[in-house]
Amino acid sequence: MPSIALQFLRSRIGKVCVAIIGNTPAEMLEKASAVIKETPFLEFRLDYLEKPLLAMPKLKQFIADNGAVTCIATCRRAANGGKFKGALAAQLEVLTKAAEVGFHIVDLELESAESLKKGDLQKLRETGVGIIISHHDFNATKDLDGIYKRIQPMEPDFIKIVPTAKTLTDNVTLMRFIERMDDHSNIVGVCMGDAGIISRVLGLRAGSAFTFAAATAGEETAPGQIAARTLIETYRIDQVDAATKVYGVAGNPIKSSLSPVMMNTAFRRETVNAVYLALQATKIADLLKLVNEIPIQGLSVTMPLKQEIMAHLEKTDPLSAKIGACNTVLRAQDGKLYGFNTDVAGIIGPLEKRISLRGAKVLVLGAGGAARAAVFGLRDKGAEVFILNRTPETAQKLAKQSGAKVIKKEALAKTPMDVIINATPIGMTGIKGAQLLEAKDLNTKLVFDLVYNPIETPLIRMARQQNIPIITGIEMFVQQGARQFEIWTGKPAPEEEMLKVVIHTLRQQAESAAAEAPPTPPATKSKKAS
């Protein structure tokens, strides 16, 4: 039975605890003051300070001035993934002092707790502070029950277990573990890593007492941590419940995908009780296991899985079957998975607004899932299609299947095109690789780059410089996403809102990238030899 003090503590904590970092107490308190307007549950990472004890008077004043705020003090040692270089006794001194100045909870990692002298933990408890005993595994998700058995005899107020998700189903392992616990009001569990986003959003539903978030993007205190505003506004974590349907975008890499912000905006706008997650999928078997375990109601499938997923679907629409690639999966009422292709609509729609495709000469760069959608969609409309791909064999196979032609790079300058479509990931944020075309190869009336992030890709920039009209990947991205939304929900998609949020997010990203870029050094005049 929890004590009255513990019941009071549990009643005042929120569902999202925001980690506050900074090199100085002033920097920390400035960030904390900005955050508490929206989220009054904070973790001060005292190990980020050079001399945490010197910060105590200012922290005491902050806690006294902000009575509604609940504060956790963490001073994680370097050996356990933190930044505190002091000995165990010094760590205990920092946490004890934090308790004395008014912190409501202190976080002590399991390894430190097991190394304490007999009675030290009890002395800390006698200050009246709540205690979290935490364990972080930065390498894997394994033996969660064993870790729990090590922590439980210490009788902390909260048991925090944070493994790393190496696979998507590691999240399921963690969430099933939390669900198994008799009293999970004192269990805090999330998975770290890019694949761990599932547990950060759905962990509360499984019974985690709360979850952690970064104050802002770029201030993460653990791999895969999400900014508080994103967790609350994009993922609507406060509203995720047992009835919330789960959707996601699956692929690799997935970090820079704007599908979550676009789709979650659409769900919110149309009052659909659903959440949409980024699923870093490296193996199809792992993805399919997750889809069945959660269960996931629908998927957007991106590279490199659009062709591979086909074999695992009950049935697909004729378009997907013809193309041999699917970008949309629906779990039907019978529980089986059905495939659709909305890429074609996303590519053909923007083109038909501008030109007649019958007899048009179109160059498609690439031969993967998106390229297949472009080639088959264009051939259906009566276009003459040419394919250029780094691997000629793949291009030849696609050309044979679709009735298109393969072209060599050397022939481009003397082969006028109506449209050039980039259906490769080259130019995408986070993807390195040389451009397939040079300026002299843009012998065309229109350039369409299916890459949408960034808005201004190298290919789009090159076309602009030559005054060639362009279509950015945003149009295709929003169009195909709108059709997915309609397949999943049966409601008309709020296309305008989807477009607005994608453009707004891309502009914000471009501004923050420009702000972080080092200034260009002024050109220096060459000195003449004297």
> Residue 516 pLDDT more than 90?
no
CB 59 within 8 A of CB 44: yes
Catalytic annotation, pick one of 31, 97, 160, 306: 306
pTM: 0.89
Confidence band for 7, pLDDT divided at 50, 70 and 90: confident
Which of residues 529 and 127 earns the better pLDDT score? 127
E strand spans, 173-281: 187-189, 211-214, 245-251, 274-280
Element at 506 (helix H, strand E): helix 495-516
Q: Is 385 a member of any domain?
A: yes
Burial class (CB in 10 A: 0-12, 13-18, 19+), 198: buried
Q: Is 76 a member of any domain?
A: yes
The residue from 242, 275, 305 where one domain ends is: 242
Q: Is 489 a member of any domain?
A: no
Q: What token pair was written down for 185?
A: 């009001």
Q: Is 259 a member of any domain?
A: no
The residue from 221, 242, 263 where one domain ends is: 242
Q: Which of 426, 421, 352 is nearest to 382 (CA)?
A: 352
pLDDT 10s digits, 75-115? 999 999 999 999 999 999 999 999 999 999 999 999 999 99
Q: Is 451 a member of any domain?
A: yes
pLDDT 10s digits, 297-310? 999 999 889 999 99
Owning domain of residue 471: 344-478
- Could you tell me the CATH number of the domain that includes residue 222? 3.20.20.70
- Please report the pLDDT score of residue 526 as a whole number: 39
Q: Is 306 annotated as catalytic?
A: yes
The residue from 454, 478, 502 where one domain ends is: 478
Q: Which of 248, 170, 249, 229 is nearest to 203 (CA)?
A: 170
Are 59 and 170 contained in the same domain? yes
Per the structure, how many domains does the chain have?
Answer: 2
DSSP state of 459: H
- Could you tell me the CATH number of the domain that includes residue 474? 3.40.50.720
C-alpha neighbours within 13 Å on the C-beta side of residue 181: 25
User: Which alpha helices (DSSP H) does 39-159 contain, by range?
Assistant: 56-65, 88-100, 110-115, 120-125, 144-151
Q: Is 26 a member of any domain?
A: yes
Q: Is 325 a member of any domain?
A: no
Q: Is 275 a member of any domain?
A: no
pLDDT 10s digits, 134-167? 999 999 999 999 999 999 999 999 999 999 999 9
Confidence band for 520, pLDDT divided at 50, 70 and 90: low
